[in-house]
Amino acid sequence: MADVPLAFLTPSSVDSEQRHETASRIKGVFLSEQSMILAQIQGGAQHVQACPPQNYVSKNAPQRFPLGLEAGINQQQWRSKNSSQHNQSRKAHRNGIKKPKTSRYPSLKGTDPKFRRNHRHALHGNMKALKEAKEGKRETV
Cβ(58)–Cβ(8) below 8 Å: yes
Indicate if the pLDDT at residue 72 is higher than 60.
Answer: no
Identify the CA nearest to 31 among candidates 61, 5, 10.
5
* Spans of all domains in the chain: 6-56, 110-141
Cα 29 to Cα 13, 59, 82: the distances in Å are 21, 25, 40
Give tens-digit pLDDT for 5-58. Answer: 555 555 555 566 666 666 555 555 555 666 666 666 666 545 445 566 666 666
Identify the CA nearest to 58 among candidates 8, 5, 6.
8
d(CA 91, CA 98): 13
* pLDDT, position 37: 67
